Structure 1
Amino acid sequence: MAEGPTRVASGAAHGRWLTLGKDGRLSLYTLAEGGLFRWTESAVGGPDWDGPHFVPVPGLTHLTVVQGADGYVHFLGRRQRAGADGATAVDVVHAIQYQTGLAFTDWRSLGNPHKDREQGRHIAPPTGATAPDGTVHVFVRGAHGGLMMRREEPSGKWRAWEDLGGAGLDARSAPIALSDGRIEVVSAAQTGVFVWGQSQPGGDFTAPRGFGLHPVPGTLSAVETGPGRPTFFWVDGAGATAAAWRAGNWPLPLGGGPAREAYAVLRAPVDGFDCVVLAGRSPDGGAVLGLGGTENEAGGFWWYPLDRPCQGSPALARDGQGRVVVALLGPDGLPETARQDGAGLALSAWQKM
């Protein structure tokens, strides 16, 4: 049972808030009043869940969940609290869960990229990626509209905040850790799209490259579709439909209606084919699924309304039996899940937590 005052979530998390642990069990995380909730599968493949377990984080306003190749789950939050002088102070916090269903580490403050408290109150929620060597990279849009980053050394020591440049950026960037050891990050901006990347693992980030593309703010997400090659997905501002883009190419339309949030994206085999699965929230608040061949967007993309209203973007993962699982946060603040059941992306009945 929840240890907090209520078991109803206060909002959806961002990022990969449905994760698969090393033991084959899924965990699901949501925002809660004064912290976060965690649910964990009782057994590999479910269908039953234990929880919610309440993790107190006073002042938490936003939560992003990131999982590394090592299976560790990282929690990045924007925290807002009254200081000793009564003025509001904002910082970025970080914690880790090393094993499924077990305790978190202590929450560590990563500070704020701005020394001026007034400027610091205007930072956006953090996003992040964990490189294959386990080092965490945290990205925040600063008060002046550019991208700020803080990252670990391989020794575990955190570097100072770095200013990566850019201007007029959307609130959240879309970073991705690639199998070749590098991190890339893309952000929508008022003037188009900015892309940063490392030339080698652990290296410095390039100056941002600008592209005259027009994603709808708040809809960017990414997945690795080839060795060291990411594909980015968003809602195209001109066509108002989903689009896929790889650097060096024009965006390819995927059809479907516009989404209100960033797509959840998962690469998974479906009926023996290498596919990309998208999950989004339509303008009317309903959850939708999209499916197409990996790096074969021109071959067609298929969309399926799920007839379920949701808060924020749904989440996607494969369970310990390899099935695609869709999770969403209902309007009542309770999560629901459904699993791949049969050919294609046919889903089981929805299960409310």
Structure 2
Amino acid sequence: MNGDWLVRGRDGRLGVYLISGEAVLCRAERLPGGAWRPARRIGGEQRLHPVLAVGQGVDAYAHLVSWRPTVPGESGLVHSTHYRPLLAPLDWVPIGHPNKKGDRTGVPAVAVDAEGRAHVFVRNAGTGLSMVAQKERGGWDPWRDLEGPGVQGPPVAVTGESGRVEAYAATDGTLLHWRQAEPAAQPELEHTVGAAPRPGTLRALATSADRTTLFFTDDPSGELCAWRPGGAPVPLLPAAGPGRVAAVRCLLDGRDSTVLAQRAASGRVALAAYPTEDEGGGASWTEHGPELWPDAEVALTLDHADRVAVAALSPATGRLLVARAGDDGPRVTPGPWQDA
């Protein structure tokens, strides 16, 4: 899965998305902060490949993207919109292939601009980055080749506070950054920097009015690093474990802060917090909760009361654990873990 699979809907309910065989499933709270409903399948009997990208707009609508098999040896991308966690998502709609036809070319990423239009990014057969975007009044624009050959691993997409969409990707020894100069414009390759990210560890977050921050694990050193285009990557703290970090912004003691979560080498959830964009602020990991399953993925969001909520999900079994910060004590320390 690529993107924030744990989301807060417009009604305050938390929802999660997961892959199960040839299907994508969704689950949601019955009431904000309450028990969880059983999983249900998205898009009827449509068969999918085991891949999912998730993005969410300022309207809190979730946009889902996956690959589906078409004819033998070929696949196409499909898109669905989920308006609220308790509602059924829309059916999967074909959105084509970056090379018109062929097999899967990579794991997609999706971000949603200020007007609610999904922008889907995926590596193409030439190893550059391609994008397709929704039109404002329905339908999709043609696929666009954003170039940047040599892309390795999944790209990540993020929407800045300006509402403009950005994308990041890694090549052999380089990080790439694309950004829209203005709304609805084609993202342009604006920045590159030398780096050696561990495959599959990119995570992007909007961190100020004009900037987004890319988090990644440096492969040689094992350091979790932060990069804001125009500068150099900054080591933040040693990665707690091998997987991708989760990140969310919130107010801690009245200060704009970034909270990070990662499955630690011990198997537990590790959390850290620091003043947003102040990587020298002294972040450190604290481990919480029980030992997780070997395949566990970790996600963060804010719940209906703007408390930090952390979830751990086992894609193989569908097991879900959720905890959220209490109303008393440190606002980032999770309370009891709920087996949802």
Q: For the residues of structure 2 that align with 1:234 and 1:252, how far apart are their CA atoms? A: 10
Which residue pairs with 1:313 in the alignment?
A: 297
Within the candidate set 64, 70, 74, 2:63 is matched to 74
Q: 1:125–1:171: 8 Å Cα contact kept in structure 2?
A: yes
Q: For the residues of structure 2 that align with 1:16 and 1:348, how far apart are their CA atoms? A: 22
Deviations 1:194-236 (A, max 9, x none): 1111111111222353211222221111111110210111112
Which residue pairs with 1:99 in the alignment?
A: 84
Which residue pairs with 1:8 in the alignment?
A: none
Which residue pairs with 2:2 in the alignment?
A: 14
Q: TM-score, normalised by structure 1?
A: 0.89
Which residue pairs with 1:264 in the alignment?
A: 246
Q: Which moved more, 1:156-165 or 1:205-214?
A: 205-214
Q: 1:221–1:233: 8 Å Cα contact kept in structure 2?
A: yes
Aligned to 2:304, the other structure's residue is in SS state coil
Amino acid at match of 1:50: R
Residue ranges of structure 2 left out of the alignment (5+ in a row):
none
1:50 Cα deviation (Å)? 1.3
Q: For the residues of structure 1 that align with 2:134 and 2:313, how far apart are their CA atoms? A: 32
Q: For the residues of structure 1 that align with 2:181 and 2:213, how far apart are their CA atoms? A: 18
Q: 1:219–1:259: 8 Å Cα contact kept in structure 2?
A: no
Q: 1:326–1:339: 8 Å Cα contact kept in structure 2?
A: yes
Amino acid at match of 1:127: A
Amino acid at match of 2:138: G
Aligned to 1:49, the other structure's residue is in SS state coil
Deviations 1:242-299 (A, max 9, x none): 1111122222211133543322110011233221111223456543222111111111
> Residues 258 and 339 from structure 1, CA distance in 2 versus in 1: closer, same or farther, beyond 3 angstroms?
closer
Within the candidate set 148, 157, 175, 2:139 is matched to 157
Pairing of 1:198-217 with structure 2 (within 5 A)? 198-207=180-189, 209-217=191-199
Which residue pairs with 1:7 in the alignment?
A: none
Which residue pairs with 1:247 in the alignment?
A: 229
Amino acid at match of 1:349: P
> Residues 322 and 115 from structure 1, CA distance in 2 versus in 1: closer, same or farther, beyond 3 angstroms?
closer
Amino acid at match of 1:317: T
Q: 1:61–1:80: 8 Å Cα contact kept in structure 2?
A: no
> Residues 195 and 95 from structure 1, CA distance in 2 versus in 1: closer, same or farther, beyond 3 angstroms?
same
RMSD, matched Cα: 1.9
Within the candidate set 197, 200, 211, 1:218 is matched to 200
1:167 Cα deviation (Å)? 1.7
Pairing of 1:295-334 with structure 2 (within 5 A)? 295-306=277-288, 307-310=290-293, 311=295, 313-330=297-314, 332-334=317-319
Amino acid at match of 1:45: G
Which residue pairs with 1:51 in the alignment?
A: 38
Which residue pairs with 1:23 in the alignment?
A: 11
Aligned to 1:102, the other structure's residue is in SS state coil
Amino acid at match of 2:303: D
Which residue pairs with 1:350 in the alignment?
A: 337
For these two proteins, the number of residue pairs brought into alignment is 333
Q: 1:181–1:200: 8 Å Cα contact kept in structure 2?
A: no
1:325 Cα deviation (Å)? 0.7
Q: 1:266–1:278: 8 Å Cα contact kept in structure 2?
A: yes
Deviations 1:57-97 (A, max 9, x none): 4123201111100111111112235x2xxx22211110111
1:336 Cα deviation (Å)? 1.0
Q: Which moved more, 1:200-209 or 1:141-150?
A: 200-209
Q: 2:240–2:270: 8 Å Cα contact kept in structure 1?
A: no
Deviations 1:93-116 (A, max 9, x none): 101111231111121011111235
Q: Which moved more, 1:305-314 or 1:125-134?
A: 305-314
Q: 1:263–1:313: 8 Å Cα contact kept in structure 2?
A: no
Which residue pairs with 2:169 in the alignment?
A: 187
Q: For the residues of structure 1 that align with 2:30 and 2:120, how far apart are their CA atoms? A: 32
Q: For the residues of structure 1 that align with 2:284 and 2:265, how far apart are their CA atoms? A: 18
Amino acid at match of 2:230: G
Aligned to 2:205, the other structure's residue is in SS state strand
Q: TM-score, normalised by structure 2?
A: 0.92
Q: For the residues of structure 2 that align with 1:80 and 1:126, how far apart are their CA atoms? A: 15
Higher fraction of strand: 1
Residue ranges of structure 1 left out of the alignment (5+ in a row):
1-12
Deviations 1:142-180 (A, max 9, x none): 122110110112222211111100122122112111121
